[in-house]
């Protein structure tokens, strides 16, 4: 398993075999800047796109489904039928 890191300066990605906490010296990019672990970037990206509208009983991406308030698509007749059968 490899862990994805990203450079703070040039934004270049690099895969390393271990977590950044396992290294004695912090991993560096070719440009000389420190690398940051990719999870921090993913968490920030995911927090921006979370929607908690009443269309679904769980948190979801904005506009991901027909029943989300942020969705561009309008529900069709078959969408209404599928939703009625799901809750019976």
Domain that holds residue 66: 50-88
Stretch 51-77: mean pLDDT = 85
Residues 85, 63 share a domain: yes
Residues 19, 2 share a domain: yes
**Structural domains of the chain, count:** 2
Residues 73, 43 share a domain: no
Q: How far apart are CA 14 and CA 2, in angstroms?
A: 10
In which order are the strands placed within the sheet that holds 35-37? 13-16, 3-7, 35-37
pLDDT score recorded for residue 64: 83
pLDDT band at 67 (very low <50, low <70, confident <90, very high): confident
Residues 61, 21 share a domain: no
Residues 21, 3 share a domain: yes
Rama region for 40: left / alpha / beta (φ>0; ψ in -120 to 50; rest):
alpha
How far CA 64 is from CA of 21, 70, 83, in Å, comes to 35, 8, 16
Residues 55, 43 share a domain: no
pLDDT digit string (tens) for 8-58? 788 788 888 887 778 888 888 888 888 876 665 556 666 677 888 888 888
Residues 59, 41 share a domain: no
pLDDT score recorded for residue 1: 66
Is the pLDDT at 7 greater than 60, yes or no?
yes
Residues 55, 40 share a domain: no
């Amino acid at each position: 398993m490899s862990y994805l890191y990203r450079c703070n300066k040039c934004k270049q990605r690099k895969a390393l075999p271990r977590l950044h906490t396992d290294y004695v010296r912090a991993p560096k990019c070719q440009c000389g800047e420190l690398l940051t672990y990719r999870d921090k970037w993913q968490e920030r990206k995911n927090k921006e796109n979370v929607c908690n509208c009443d269309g679904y009983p769980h948190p979801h991406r904005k506009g991901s489904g027909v029943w989300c308030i942020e969705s561009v698509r309008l529900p069709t007749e078959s969408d209404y039928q599928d939703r009625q059968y799901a809750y019976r």
